[in-house]
Amino acid sequence: MNRTVIILGGVLAAGALGYAVLSMMGGDDPGGDRSATAPGAPMVEVALPATLGDAARMGKVAFEAQCVTCHGENAAGKAGNGPPLVHKIYEPGHHADYAFQMAVENGVQAHHWSFGDMPPVEGLTRSDVSNIVAYVRTLQRANGIN
């Protein structure tokens, strides 16, 4: 019983610390305070890569047709609409390529940002999404996100 109390106390302390850190950082929204950002404005600056591979080029076309409305030009996000995909939150170690496939197929319940839930996206094949991921990963690498 004594061991259980110690473990429970540790879990509660860790949770309180995490809550305190998130509160000091502006809550669960990793973009921080964007109150001065005009609606529809890009949320991050995106350095463009010198070249795009074949898959990334096809992904850019699909992204511009299906994703740009919410995620903005060059995946820079769009204030009031959707988050930037060129952001450390979406690095491969945190959101693997398969997460993008699942997001398109099933939608996503809001958990990192305060934009609301992402609905499923109609009209994209798995191949289209793979190409979009290639484009996003190329942009991420060009911006130091690996």
What pLDDT, in 10s, does the model give residues 37-82? 799 999 999 999 999 999 999 999 999 999 999 999 999 999 999 9
Residue 82 DSSP symbol:
B
- Model pTM? 0.76
Query: HEC string of 119-136?
Result: CCCCCCCHHHHHHHHHHH
Distances (CA, A) of 141 to 14, 17, 18: 33, 32, 29
What pLDDT, in 10s, does the model give residues 101-116? 999 999 999 999 999 9
Task: Give the per-residue pLDDT at 31.
Answer: 53
Residue 18: band (very low, low, confident or very high) from pLDDT cuts 50, 70, 90: very low
Distances (CA, A) of 76 to 12, 90, 125: 37, 12, 23
